[in-house]
C-alpha cells in the first residue's frame, strides 16, 4: 500500500489560494548536497518529475538556501530559465512573479511562481510564509517518524542477532544468519565475512549469504588485490557508493570473479583481539544510500560479530588445551578415555568391533641425559607422525603418557591392523619412522578388541595394560 504524500494537501491549498502557476516544496538531503522535490502542484507542462538537484546546480534556489532569506521577484528577467530554475524544462516562459522562502532554516525551500500578477502582495507573501511554517512542522514530524521507524528496524535487527548469539549458538549457523539479516536490513544482494590467516598477508572467507558460491569459502585470497584485500591491507573500512565496471580495481576478491562490479560496496574493518583482522562486507547491484543511523547500526553489528568471533576462537583454543596434546596435536589421555568409553557403548549397541592399540617406548628418561627437552620433543613429533603413516588411515590417536601412544580404529579388520603393527615392530631395530640411531629405545605394544576384550572401560584398559606388562617381562626374559 502506497503511503500518501504528507505535504501535498498544504501545497495544493496554497496553490488554490494564490491561483499560482507552480507551488513546489524542496527538501535538502541529510548531507545538504541535493534538493529533492517532495511535493508540487503545477499548471506547467514542463515541470520535471522525480527532481533531485545538486545544490550547486539548483540556480537561484541554492542562493536562497545559503542566505537563509526569502527572495521575492516581481518580474523574472532571466535569459536561461532552465539554469535559473532547473526543475523546469527550457520551454517554460511568461513567469511574472517568483517567491522563494526557506523552510526550517536549511531543511528545505518553498517555491511559488505566478503568471497572473507581477509578483505577490503582502497578504499573499504572508500566506506563503504561514504555509512554509506549517510545512516545517510537518517536515520535522515526518523526520521524527522516519527516525523512529528506523530505530525500530535497528532494535529489531540487534534483538534478533542477540537472541541467536545467546540461545542455540553455532558459528556455522550464526555468521551466515547475521549476514542474511544485515543484507535484508541494508537491501543488498551479497554479504560475506572474511578473516586474515597466518602472517596477515592472506585472508579467507568464513561465511557468506546463500547466493555466494561455496567455493569462496574453500580458498584463500591475497590482501594485495581486490577491494576486500584493500580493506585488509589499509586496515580501514571502505564505502564505494557507485562501483564503476570500467575501473580495473573495482573487483572484490580477484579480477575474473563472477560478482557484478556495479552498485554499492561496503567493507567494514575490525581487528580481532586474538591478533587477526576481519572484514564484514556487503555488495548491492543497485546504488544504495544509507543514513548515518543505518551505518552506525551495521558498524555495531560488525563490532558484535568481532566479539562473537573472538569468543569462537577462545573456545577453540580452550578446546585444544582441554582435549589435545600441545606437542603433537593428538588427543590427550583424558579426552581419549572418554572417546573409548563412548566407543565401548556404541560397539555393544551396534555389534561393530573396534580395535585399541597401545605403544610404549623405554627407557624414555635416558633421552634427557643426552639431549635437550626441545630436541626430545622434536624427535617425539617425528616419531608419532611416522607411525601414523605406517598404520591404516584415519585412526583416533592419543598421547597417554610422555612415552605412550594409543590408536583406536572403528570397523577396520583386526588382521589389517595387526599386520601394520608387525611391520612397525619389524622395522624398529632397523630404522623406525622418525627415530634416529642415536636414540636407543625399546618398543612394547598391546592390541585389544572392543567389546571382545572388555565390555567396560575398566576391563578393556586392564587387558591392554596387562599385555604391555607381559611384553615387558618377555623382553627381560629374552635378555636373560
In this predicted model, what pLDDT tens digit does every residue of 152-210 receive, in sequence order? 999 999 999 988 888 766 888 899 999 999 999 999 999 999 999 888 899 999 999 99
The reply to whether 387 and 285 lie within a common domain is no
Compute the average pLDDT of residues 351-374.
87
- Predicted pLDDT of residue 366: 82
Range scoring the smallest mean pLDDT among 115-119, 272-276, 303-307, 392-396: 272-276
- Predicted pLDDT of residue 474: 63
- Predicted pLDDT of residue 40: 93
Compute the average pLDDT of residues 438-448.
80
In tens, the pLDDT along 32-80 reads 788 999 999 999 888 877 888 888 888 889 999 989 999 998 876 655 6
- The answer to whether position 240 is within a domain reads yes
Compute the average pLDDT of residues 289-294.
91
- The answer to whether position 166 is within a domain reads no
Say whether pLDDT at 426 is over 70.
yes
The reply to whether 457 and 335 lie within a common domain is yes
Compute the average pLDDT of residues 140-148.
91
- The answer to whether position 127 is within a domain reads yes
Count of domains observed in the chain = 3
- The answer to whether position 157 is within a domain reads no
- The answer to whether position 418 is within a domain reads yes
Domain end, chosen from 318, 339, 370, is at 318
- Predicted pLDDT of residue 3: 67
Compute the average pLDDT of residues 100-116.
91
- Predicted pLDDT of residue 430: 58
The confidence band for 1, taking pLDDT boundaries of 50, 70 and 90, is very low
The reply to whether 177 and 294 lie within a common domain is yes
- Predicted pLDDT of residue 302: 95
> In 10 A of CB 171, how many CB atoms?
16
Q: Give the residues across from 443 on adjacent strands.
A: 361
- Predicted pLDDT of residue 255: 84
Only one residue has cell 541467536, namely 164
**CATH code of the domain covering residue 181:** 3.30.450.40
Q: Are 407 and 391 in contact (CB under 8 A)?
A: yes
State CA 333 to chain mean position distance.
37
The reply to whether 357 and 229 lie within a common domain is no
Residue 265 backbone dihedrals phi, psi, to 5 degrees: -120, 140
Domain end, chosen from 293, 318, 343, is at 318
Report how far residue 312's alpha carbon sits from residue 387's, in angstroms, rounded to the nearest whole number.
33
- Predicted pLDDT of residue 245: 79
The reply to whether 285 and 248 lie within a common domain is yes
- The answer to whether position 68 is within a domain reads yes
The reply to whether 16 and 139 lie within a common domain is yes
The reply to whether 291 and 344 lie within a common domain is no
Say whether pLDDT at 128 is over 70.
yes
Report how far residue 282's alpha carbon sits from residue 265's, in angstroms, rounded to the nearest whole number.
6
Range scoring the smallest mean pLDDT among 131-135, 231-235, 469-473: 469-473
Say whether pLDDT at 99 is over 80.
yes
- The answer to whether position 325 is within a domain reads no
Domain end, chosen from 292, 318, 344, is at 318
- Predicted pLDDT of residue 31: 75
The confidence band for 479, taking pLDDT boundaries of 50, 70 and 90, is very low
Copy the grid coordinates of residue 347: 560397539
Residue 243, CA distances (Å) to 52, 247, 250, 268, 298 in order: 21, 8, 6, 16, 20
- Predicted pLDDT of residue 404: 93
Report how far residue 65's alpha carbon sits from residue 74's, in angstroms, rounded to the nearest whole number.
19
Report how far residue 445's alpha carbon sits from residue 362's, in angstroms, rounded to the nearest whole number.
11
The reply to whether 336 and 313 lie within a common domain is no
The reply to whether 348 and 387 lie within a common domain is yes
- The answer to whether position 341 is within a domain reads yes
Range of the domain at 200: 171-318
The reply to whether 285 and 194 lie within a common domain is yes
- How would you write 330-372 as a 3-class SS string? CEEHHHHHHHHHHHHHHHHHHCCCEEEEEEEEECHHHHHHCCC
The reply to whether 314 and 415 lie within a common domain is no
The reply to whether 260 and 365 lie within a common domain is no
**CATH code of the domain covering residue 446:** 3.30.70.270
The confidence band for 476, taking pLDDT boundaries of 50, 70 and 90, is low
Percent share of the chain, pLDDT over 70: 93
Report how far residue 409's alpha carbon sits from residue 393's, in angstroms, rounded to the nearest whole number.
9
Amino acid at each position: 500500500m502506497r503511503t500518501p504524500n504528507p505535504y501535498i494537501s498544504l501545497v495544493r491549498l496554497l496553490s488554490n489560494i494564490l491561483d499560482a502557476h507552480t507551488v513546489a516544496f524542496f527538501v535538502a538531503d541529510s548531507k545538504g548536497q541535493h534538493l529533492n522535490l517532495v511535493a508540487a502542484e503545477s499548471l506547467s507542462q514542463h515541470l520535471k518529475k522525480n527532481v533531485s538537484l545538486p545544490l550547486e546546480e539548483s540556480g537561484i534556489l541554492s542562493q536562497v538556501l545559503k542566505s537563509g532569506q526569502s527572495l521575492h521577484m516581481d518580474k523574472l528577467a532571466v535569459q536561461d530559465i532552465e539554469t535559473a530554475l532547473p526543475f523546469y524544462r527550457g520551454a517554460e516562459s511568461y513567469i511574472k512573479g517568483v517567491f522563494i522562502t526557506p523552510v526550517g532554516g536549511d531543511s528545505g525551500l518553498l517555491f511559488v511562481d505566478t503568471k497572473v500578477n507581477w509578483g505577490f502582495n503582502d497578504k499573499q507573501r504572508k500566506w506563503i510564509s504561514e504555509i512554509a511554517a506549517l510545512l516545517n512542522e510537518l517536515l520535522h514530524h515526518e523526520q521524527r517518524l522516519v527516525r523512529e521507524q528506523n530505530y525500530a528496524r535497528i532494535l529489531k535487527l540487534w534483538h534478533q542477532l542477540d537472541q541467536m548469539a545467546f540461545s542455540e549458538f553455532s558459528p556455522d549457523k550464526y555468521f551466515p544468519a547475521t549476514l542474511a539479516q544485515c543484507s535484508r536490513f541494508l537491501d543488498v544482494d551479497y554479504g560475506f565475512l572474511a578473516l586474515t590467516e597466518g602472517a596477515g598477508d592472506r585472508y579467507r572467507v568464513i561465511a557468506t549469504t546463500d547466493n555466494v558460491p561455496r567455493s569462496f569459502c574453500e580458498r584463500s585470497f591475497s590482501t594485495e588485490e581486490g577491494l576486500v584485500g584493500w580493506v585488509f591491507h589499509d586496515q580501514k573500512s571502505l564505502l564505494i557508493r557507485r562501483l564503476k565496471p570500467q575501473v580495473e580495481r573495482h573487483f572484490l576478491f580477484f579480477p575474473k570473479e563472477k560478482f557484478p562490479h556495479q552498485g554499492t560496496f561496503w567493507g567494514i574493518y575490525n581487528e580481532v583481539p586474538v591478533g587477526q583482522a576481519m572484514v564484514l562486507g556487503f555488495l548491492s547491484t543497485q546504488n544504495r544510500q544509507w543514513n548515518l543511523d543505518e551505518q552506525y547500526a551495521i558498524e555495531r553489528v560488525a563490532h558484535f560479530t568481532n566479539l562473537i568471533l573472538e569468543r569462537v576462537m577462545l573456545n577453540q583454543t580452550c578446546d585444544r588445551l582441554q582435549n589435545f596434546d600441545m606437542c603433537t596435536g593428538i588427543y590427550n589421555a583424558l579426552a581419549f578415555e572418554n572417546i573409548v568409553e563412548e566407543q565401548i557403548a556404541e560397539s555393544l549397541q551396534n555389534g561393530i568391533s573396534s580395535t585399541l592399540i597401545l605403544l610404549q617406548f623405554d627407557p624414555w628418561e635416558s633421552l634427557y641425559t643426552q639431549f635437550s627437552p626441545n630436541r626430545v620433543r622434536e624427535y617425539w613429533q617425528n616419531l608419532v607422525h611416522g607411525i601414523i603413516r605406517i598404520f591404516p588411515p584415519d585412526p583416533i590417536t592419543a598421547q597417554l603418557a610422555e612415552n605412550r601412544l594409543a590408536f583406536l580404529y572403528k570397523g577396520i579388520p583386526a588382521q589389517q591392523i595387526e599386520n601394520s603393527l608387525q611391520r612397525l615392530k619389524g622395522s624398529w631395530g632397523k630404522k623406525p619412522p622418525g627415530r634416529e640411531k642415536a636414540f636407543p629405545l625399546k618398543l612394547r605394544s598391546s592390541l585389544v578388541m572392543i567389546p571382545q576384550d572388555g565390555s567396560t572401560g575398566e576391563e578393556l584398559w586392564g587387558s591392554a595394560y596387562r599385555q604391555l606388562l607381559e611384553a615387558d617381562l618377555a623382553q627381560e626374559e629374552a635378555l636373560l
